[in-house]
Amino acid sequence: MSTPSPKGQLTRDEVAHLAHLSRLACSDEELDLFAGQLAAVLDAVAQVGKADVTDVAPTTHAVPMTNVMRPDVARPSLPRDVVLAGAPAAEDDRFRVPRILGEES
Amino acid sequence: MSDVTTTDVAELSRALSAGEVSSAEVTRAYLERIAAVDGELGAFLHVDADAAIGAAEAVDAARAAGSELGPLAGVPVALKDVFVTEGVPTTSGSKILEGWRPPYDATVTARLKSAGTVLLGKTNMDEFAMGSSTENSAYQVTRNPWDRSRIPGGSSGGSSAAVAGGLAPWALGTDTGGSIRQPAALTGLVGHKPTYGSVSRYGMIAFSSSLDQAGPMTRTVLDAALLHEAIAGHDAYDSTSIDAPVPVLAEAARRGAAGELAGLTVGVVRELGGEGHADGYEDGVLARFQEAVALLESMGAEVREVSCPAFDLALPAYYLIAPSEASSNLARFDGVRYGVRVGDDGARDLDEVMALTREQGFGPEVKRRIILGTYALSAGYYDAYYGQAQKVRTLITRDFTSSWDDVDVLVSPTSPTVAWSVGARVDDPIAMYAADLCTLPASLAGVPAISVPCGLSEGLPVGFQIMAPALADDRCYRVAAALEAAQDAARGHRLLDELGRTAAGGAA
């Protein structure tokens, strides 16, 4: 098991990396702010490590879960034009997205 | 009848059925009050007066034609903006969904429509339900009707301010870590978090899927039970929905109001406001709490202290689990299928557009939690943070389970403090998170919990929390109604009546 970073070890660069992984562009001011706040939050939440959880199973859900199945029967879905009406961009009855591959591809 | 904007729904429903008042009259009265007061309170994000009056007139016409109508037909309702509503703007308090009109109704929205209720509007909330003060809304700060320099609680603060301020007879909120109970407590309302899975989450914009739960925010315990019954029940569209009969809640509230509690055993949680609790509780809150416990005892309940040691770890466990689930749930806001898109100028690729869209669409609290959740779920830290938190969650559930061997309900203050001043905690996430200290254990275990007003401290409302075993929501209503009735009798009026019209914004 890995050891959580001690207080203050979540650096600005680490926050920038996590923001990138989360697809969040952050300003320099935000990165500075979050680095300090997240270090404090991590220090507080690291208390969970104090609990003796030997042989304790994790709770994945608050209620007993069973797989839910339904008959494989076609049903009407939302009309395509209604769904596309809420999209930022649509074209030819589809969601239009920015290019995914770079120029060189 | 007298001023409909101070009338309980139970009474309003009777008057509508008896033809003493029309739905259009009631709806207009609320719309007028919204127009007069909401500029100061900021409770609503969206109100469509014409649509509301149209819906009310349709109910009146159906009633006049002799149609068989349910008891709630014609009663106005306000919905937290986290519930999707067909054709009606729904933002979850975020800029990323600005202008979006959903193509379908949430199950609870659909159930309230089929019950004939009239949608007044959508209420303000902390962005994606992340917050305890409604200051994290991307649109506006909501004010507490008891003192407009203070917050109304969160994240359902728009709903709490709307009902406490007389802008809606009742409202729906959602509770992930306490977002129904804490704002209800801070504004003098009744708020109930149902058993997890007993009210459908379909069409409720997800924050933390294993915790999110819709529930009522009302003036009285009976009203809460009536609204709860209207929205509860199995839903095939929600795979986490419990397939069990809806308990009889309104009847439990009516029985409880008779005040007989002989045979009931009440456990005061040592770690939550009982002897030996951690610091942070205000003296006035503890005093009102202890008075309420004494009142339950005077009605025949047996009171004993119960220790739930794992509850001390509920706050850190919650603030790992909820952001982790949020970081996953909020990945769907990618600027492709709905909401806004930023930077799509033909020169940027999908990743860049997505990052810019999320930068401008999300506020600081949401970003902070997404980053925290991404960290807690990342390789190398998963076991130490998320995995450990989920094991602590098991310990909390065990504390509840072993308590039920000795007591019927557990009680605590709902919030360690009364409503604080706007701005007082915005720069301190740790102080803000501490507001949820008392409500988190029930959320993590998925058990039902209700907050009922138990008096004032420094002129501001204090809430009393009652927790029960899973699916025993009726027990919460019974005890809450007993406490409410005893307090109203001792006071000679409801606590909410002390919030005069002047304090609430002054219709006059």
Q: Which of A38-47, B264-273, B410-419 has the lowest mean pLDDT?
A: A38-47
Chain B interface mutation, best of A3, A22, A43, A83, highest count of B Cβ atoms under 10 Å: A22
Active site residue B179: yes
Contact A56 B394 (CB under 8 A): yes
pTM for the whole structure: 0.96
Tokens representing B184 are 């209800």
Give B256's strand partners: none
Residue B307 has a pLDDT of 97
Q: Which of A68-82, B59-73, B94-108, B194-208 has the lowest mean pLDDT?
A: A68-82
Q: Are the CB atoms for B122 and B44 separated by under 8 Å?
A: yes
**How does pLDDT run across B403-458, given as a tens digit for each residue?**
999 999 999 999 999 999 999 998 888 888 889 999 999 999 999 999 999 999 99
Q: Helices then strands (H, E): number in chain B? A: 16, 11
Which run of H or E residues covers position B214?
strand B213-218
Q: Are the CB atoms for B116 and B72 separated by under 8 Å?
A: yes
Search chain A and give the residue with CA nearest B99.
A86
Residue B476 has a pLDDT of 98
Q: Is pLDDT of B489 > 90?
A: yes
Q: Is pLDDT of B35 > 80?
A: yes
Residue B260 has a pLDDT of 85
Q: Are the CB atoms for B194 and B160 separated by under 8 Å?
A: no
Average pLDDT over chain A reads 86
Q: Is B211 on the interface with A (CB under 8 A)?
A: yes
Q: Are the CB atoms for B183 and B225 separated by under 8 Å?
A: no
Interhelix angle B221-231/B249-257, rounded to 10 degrees, is: 170
Tokens representing B264 are 């009931």
Q: Which of B13, B22, B80, B198 is catalytic?
A: B80
Give B334's Cβ-side CA count (13 Å radius): 16
Please tell me which of the candidates A65, A85, A89 has its beta carbon nearest to residue B341.
A89
Q: Which residue has the tokens 């009982």?
A: B274
Which of 386-425 (B) contact A at CB < 8 A? 387-395, 397
Residue A69 has a pLDDT of 84
Chain A residues whose beta carbon lies within 8 Å of the beta carbon of residue B380: 2
Q: Which of B94, B133, B155, B160 is catalytic?
A: B155
Q: Which residue has the tokens 């308090």?
A: B93
Residue B274 has a pLDDT of 85
Contact A89 B344 (CB under 8 A): yes
* Cβ–Cβ pairs < 8 A, chains A and B: 189
Q: Are the CB atoms for B118 and B170 separated by under 8 Å?
A: no
Contact B430 A41 (CB under 8 A): yes
Of the candidates B405, B323, B210, B439, the one whose C-alpha atom is nearest the C-alpha of residue A64 is: B210
Name the 3-class secondary structure at B244.
coil
Q: Is B35 on the interface with A (CB under 8 A)?
A: no
Residue B85 has a pLDDT of 98
Q: Is B358 on the interface with A (CB under 8 A)?
A: yes
Q: Is pLDDT of B279 > 90?
A: no
Question: Mind telling me how many Å the CA of A100 is from chain B's nearest CA?
Answer: 5
Q: Is B222 on the interface with A (CB under 8 A)?
A: no
Q: Is pLDDT of A4 > 50?
A: no
Residue A7 has a pLDDT of 47
Search chain A and give the residue with CA nearest B443.
A62
* Total residue count of chain B as it appears in this document: 508
Which of 266-325 (B) contact A at CB < 8 A? 310, 313, 315-317, 319-320
Model confidence band, residue B501 (pLDDT cutoffs 50, 70, 90): low
**How does pLDDT run across B175-228, given as a tens digit for each residue?**
999 999 999 999 999 999 999 999 999 999 999 999 999 999 999 999 999 999
Ordered alpha helix ranges (H), B239-387: 249-257, 283-298, 314-329, 350-361, 364-376
Chain A interface mutation, best of B128, B333, B375, highest count of A Cβ atoms under 10 Å: B375
Model confidence band, residue A105 (pLDDT cutoffs 50, 70, 90): very low
Backbone angles phi, psi at B478, to 5 degrees: -65, -50
Name the 3-class secondary structure at B487.
helix
Q: Is pLDDT of B506 > 90?
A: no
Chain B interface mutation, best of A7, A31, A45, A77, highest count of B Cβ atoms under 10 Å: A45
Residue B277 has a pLDDT of 81
Question: Mind telling me how many Å the CA of A48 is from chain B's nearest CA?
Answer: 6
Of the candidates B344, B363, B273, the one whose C-alpha atom is nearest the C-alpha of residue B311 is: B273
Planar angle of CA B212, B213, B219, nearest 5 degrees: 135
Q: What value does the CA radius of gyration of chain A take, rounded to a whole number of Å?
A: 23
Contact B394 A57 (CB under 8 A): yes
Percentage of residues in chain B having pLDDT higher than 70:
98
Rounded to an integer, the average pLDDT of B139-164 is: 98
Q: Are the CB atoms for B171 and B77 separated by under 8 Å?
A: yes
Model confidence band, residue A2 (pLDDT cutoffs 50, 70, 90): very low
List own/partner pairs for B272-278 with CB under 8 A and 24 or more apart.
B272/B308, B272/B311, B272/B412, B272/B413, B272/B437, B272/B438, B272/B441, B273/B412, B273/B413, B273/B416, B273/B438, B274/B305, B274/B306, B274/B412, B275/B305, B278/B312, B278/B437
Tokens representing B503 are 């304090």
Name the 3-class secondary structure at B236.
coil
Question: Mind telling me how many Å the CA of B113 is from chain A's nearest CA?
Answer: 19
Q: Is the dihedral of CA B239, B244, B248, B249 positive or negative?
A: negative
**How does pLDDT run across B351-393, given as a tens digit for each residue?**
999 999 999 999 999 999 999 999 999 989 999 999 999 999 9
**How does pLDDT run across A91-101, given as a tens digit for each residue?**
999 999 998 87
Assess whether the previous peptide bond of B155 is cis (omega < 30° from 0): yes
Residue B195 vs residues B192, B301, B472: alpha-carbon distances, Å: 9, 23, 8
Which of 100-129 (B) contact A at CB < 8 A? 100-104
Question: Mind telling me how many Å the CA of B239 is from chain A's nearest CA?
Answer: 6
Contact B390 A59 (CB under 8 A): yes
